[in-house]
Amino acid sequence: MGRLRPADWLVLWSALFAAASLSIYWFRTAPAPLPRGWVGYAPSDTYSTGWDALGWGTVALILLTTALALVLVVLVAAGARDAANLPPGVFLAALSPLTLLIVLFVTVVKVGGLTSLETGAWAGLAALLALTVGAWLSLRDERTDQPSRQVTPPAPRPAPPAS
């Protein structure tokens, strides 16, 4: 794990937190009020987690993004060459903003009327935002300690002939 830079740690922790946030309550739905003059049982608030409320497509997109982030971190930690860890990094940098926008849209559309956002939604959105930032920052790999980046300089060119 000594090869991980701060951007890679950000990708790792935000991916784990984004996946874990699906188990926290994302939405709270208050029951509809009883009509005037009615007396009876009033159900309590209903809470739903990200697994329940987001839909299978959105959950699959979040899990795909987090899995890709974990693949990138494992490749960087293992010291893989650029040819192996660059494609997942580029794909993650393209997929994570799309995932963030879709989850943001889904949460905004679901909220309204008697539904409100809970802690899980805010945590999930924050984790996806951090994952997007980390994915973009992880592409800026300027390290020269990798074997594939160590270059031996060419031999000096001969001096031009004297005229």
Q: What is the pTM assigned to this prediction?
A: 0.78
159 inside domain: no
Q: What is the pLDDT of residues 137-149, one digit of tens each?
A: 988 766 656 665 6
Name the residue range of residue 89's domain. Answer: 6-30+46-139
pLDDT at position 2 is: 66
Cα–chain-centroid distance for residue 131? 4
Q: Is the pLDDT of residue 13 over 90?
A: yes
Identify whether 1 is part of a domain: no
| Domain assignment present for 75 | yes
Indicate whether 162 belongs to any domain.
Answer: no
- Give dist(CA 102, CA 115) in Å, integer: 19
Q: Is residue 149 part of a domain?
A: no
Contact 89, 72 (CB under 8 A): yes
Long-range pairs, 63-66, Cβ under 8 A, ≥24: 63/19, 64/95, 65/15, 65/18, 65/92, 65/95, 65/96, 65/99, 65/128, 65/131, 66/15, 66/16, 66/18, 66/19, 66/131
Q: Give the tokens for residue 65.
A: 């993004």
Residue 124 resides in a domain: yes
Q: How far apart are CA 10 and CA 105, in angstroms?
A: 24
pLDDT digits (tens, 9 = 90+) for 90-129: 999 999 999 999 999 988 887 766 677 888 889 999 999 9
- pLDDT score of 6: 86
Question: 48 has which bridge partners?
Answer: 27
The two three-digit tokens of residue 11, written as one number: 């990708």
Establish if 62 belongs to a structural domain. Answer: yes
Query: Structurally, how many domains does the chain consist of?
Result: 1
The answer to whether residue 130 is domain-embedded is yes
Rounded CA separation 132/15 (Å): 10
